[in-house]
A and B are shown apart, each in its own frame.
Chain A
Amino acid sequence: MNYGLTEDQASILAGLDQLIAAHSPEAPKEPRNYYYDAELDRAVAEAGYLQIAREPGFGVLEAALIAERLARLPWVVEAATSAIVAPVLPIPADLQPIALSSGDFSRPARFLPIAKVLVLNRGEDALIVRLDNATIEPVETLMAYPYGRLKSIEGLECQRIAQCDDLRRRWRIALACEAAGSMAAALAQVVEHVKARYAFGRPLGSFQAIQHRLAMAAEVTEAAKWLALRAAWSDIEADAAMAAGFAQCQVSQFTYDLHQFCGAMGLTLEFPLHLWTYRLRALVGEVGGASAQSQAAARATWTEAA
């Protein structure tokens, strides 16, 4: 047991931070629901960060560290799926961005407008849909990711995957990493706000009512991160389901509190809190939502033999 980064892991994250600093665009002028940064997405991919889980001596844990770090940025990039989920899919290593969705192909999917491939979890099986000639309608949403809807699946190259356990497990890990990074960034944003904002002659952050709930949010954020990293390390069903489920079932209280402490300002697009809280809300329903994860965690933990 050792929670410290190895030298290699520290070096990977330091390199990623440098890349982010070099590629991050200026603060956006127009308030928007999300900011997708294609250039940063490309730079992260070209630097090999999304392939880390396939490299000898590295694995899903390193991919998770990268995904969690990238999720803290105000700009969304499609990294978690490519770095964590893609290695268990029968697709070329450089085929990304990737969109993930469940159920019918026509449901709105995260990252679909910029994706080269859609992975559709259908429960019993999954479908990999190449999007080279696809028609994708953008979907307007409050959620802080680019969403799109596939107009038709006809004529598109599709590949069926009969066994979805690996896909679902890695999806849960990826989701948990994105949630953990988003929570960390959202919390940091609000902590800065309540330090700077005064009411009744005092910083908001000096009121105990606010301190307690932010401390609880900090506990949730830390727990979400370590559960996600443990799941990435073990790469087993029970840990993955716990990590995703814990994050999903905490989103409601977490986002409520964080917005509450920013008052009406927190409900504007100008104030950047939604860039993370509306990612969290987008993640709440994925892979079946918190109830599906908790049932999966329970079944995996307490098998018939247990």
Chain B
Amino acid sequence: MEFGWSADEETHRTRVREVLQRTLPPDWETLSAHGPGSDEQTAFSRVMCKALAQERLLIPHWPKEFGGDDETVWRQFIMAEELWAAGEPRGPQYMNVNWVGPVMMQFGTPAQIEKYLPPIRAGEAIWCQGFSEPSAGSDLASLRTSAVPVERGYRVTGAKIWTSYAGHADTCFLLARLPSAAGGPQGKSAIVILLVDMRSPGIQVKPIPALLGNGDIHEVFFDNVFVPVEERFGAEGQAWEIIKYLLQHERVGIPRYAFSRRALDRAVAKLKALGRWSDPIVQDRAGRALMFCEACRMLVYHVVDGKARNLPPDAYGSLARWSIVQADNAVNDFLTEFLPEGLLEQDPVQLAHHQRAIAAGVASGAAEIQLNIAAQSWLELPREPKRG
């Protein structure tokens, strides 16, 4: 058992910090407050990801055969920690390197790999994930967007909602449902994954004004959109296997506590500058927020450690996910109580943290679903009987 870093890992962290210091513009804090899906941050992500690619820090964890460096899980995670603490300057492209690429390598056809990996490697691709629908959020399997097989492809009709980055995306990783016919596939086995060119005729994207920042979430409407059969991802009936694989990559890939910890560190520095740090109440509350951040770090590290040691996946990620919600909110509560002026457009980092914290329990599926999983898989409690 070891809770420290090797010399190599420390050096790696220092290098990532140096690259960030060198690459981030002086107005990065203001720019990052617009949210990862904003015009500003999306445009900057193309600059930043190119720079990271040049430093071989964009996809170091990918296998060498796909252009990566076969980096260890921990070196990958150290980089993610530093990038997330800095406000995630990869913008929407974090998704590409975290799960779109790895899922593509695992399940994509040679033609899809040839087409989609080079722009990701170059730091130029913007993807969105067409998962949630007005009637299918955390209950993803109940999605209704239809994909009707036609000659040479599928016709897609339906609506997606809460779609991040859709306003800028080149490609949508879309989940749709095949028509159910007597004896045909139903439920999860009727879901098909399509890689949809967002410039296809029949697609309409509408931004949803929200508390989360400009351009972060959207409605996406598909009206009889043609998708060539070559863009079907995986076999019909294989979608749920792929979704489970990608959700594992998606959910442990984001060390959100690192940003919370940075926001907390900044707040303490500010309170010191204001002469308020000597107040024992301030120290007490800051210490409590710190405890939640560090508790979260320990649980997330546990998940990463399992990956690093090739242990079989378990429900620990669900416990870790709940701790992320606790940490984000503990820091947000501290900042709102002791530095309320930060939310009055005075502190872009605090505003950005607030906007991420209020979505912590909702993004990537409701955290309560993770509690269900933890209860049933980790504690092995009996499932709730189905109604009807």
A binding-site residues for B, Cβ under 8 Å: 1-6, 9, 61, 65, 191, 194-195, 202-203, 205-208, 210-212, 214-216, 218-219, 222-224, 226-227, 229-230, 233-234, 241-242, 245-246, 249, 290-291, 293-299, 301-302, 306
Contact = CB atoms under 8 A, between A and B. Distances in A.
A299 B286 CA distance: 10
29 contacts: A1-B5, A1-B304, A1-B308, A2-B305, A2-B308, A2-B309, A3-B301, A61-B1, A191-B379, A203-B381, A206-B381, A208-B384, A212-B368, A214-B375, A215-B319, A226-B301, A230-B3, A233-B1, A234-B3, A234-B4, A242-B290, A246-B291, A246-B292, A246-B295, A295-B280, A298-B268, A298-B287, A299-B283, A302-B272
B287 A206 contact: no
Nearest to B293: A242
A109 B228 CA distance: 76
A211 B375 contact: yes
Contacts of B304: 1
Contacts of B326: 219
Interface string B1-28: 1111100010000000000000000000
Contacts of A227: 291, 294-295, 298
A262 B296 CA distance: 28
A218 B374 contact: yes
Given A206-B382, A218-B375, A227-B298, 17 more contacts: A1-B301, A1-B305, A2-B2, A4-B1, A6-B1, A65-B1, A195-B381, A195-B382, A205-B381, A215-B322, A222-B319, A294-B285, A294-B290, A295-B280, A295-B283, A297-B290, A301-B290
Q: Which of B272, B296, B308, B374 has the most CB of A within 10 A?
A: B374
Interface of B: 1-5, 9, 74, 265, 268-269, 272, 277, 280, 283-288, 290-292, 294-296, 298-299, 301-302, 304-306, 308-309, 316, 318-319, 322-323, 326, 368, 370-372, 374-376, 378-385
A215 B323 contact: no
A241 B299 contact: no
Given A1-B3, A223-B299, A297 B291 contact: yes
Given A215-B319, A218-B379, A3 B302 contact: yes
Nearest to B272: A302
Instruction: Across the A-B interface, give the 7 residue pairs with the lowest CB-CB distance, nearest first.
Output: A294-B287, A211-B375, A223-B295, A298-B287, A226-B298, A215-B374, A205-B381
B4 A219 contact: no
B318 A215 contact: yes
Given A2-B305, A202-B385, A302-B286, A222 B299 contact: yes
A232 to B, nearest CB: 9
Given A212-B368, A215-B375, A295 B284 contact: yes
Nearest to A298: B287
B308 to A, nearest CB: 8
Nearest to B77: A1
Contacts of A6: 1
B265 A302 contact: yes
A245 B375 contact: no
Q: Which of B277, B290, B323 has the most CB of A within 10 A?
A: B290
Given A218-B378, A222-B302, A227-B295, A9 B287 contact: no
Contacts of B323: 219, 223
Contacts of B269: 302, 306
Given A1-B3, A61-B1, A214-B381, A295 B298 contact: no
B291 A216 contact: no
Given A2-B1, A241-B287, A294-B291, A215 B378 contact: yes
Contacts of A1: 2-5, 9, 74, 301, 304-305, 308
A212 B1 contact: no
A211 B384 CA distance: 9
A240 B304 CA distance: 23
Nearest to A228: B298
Q: Which of A203, A205, A211, A216 has the most CB of B within 10 A?
A: A211
Contacts of A294: 283-288, 290-291
Contacts of B296: 223
Given A211-B376, A229-B3, A302-B265, A245 B288 contact: yes
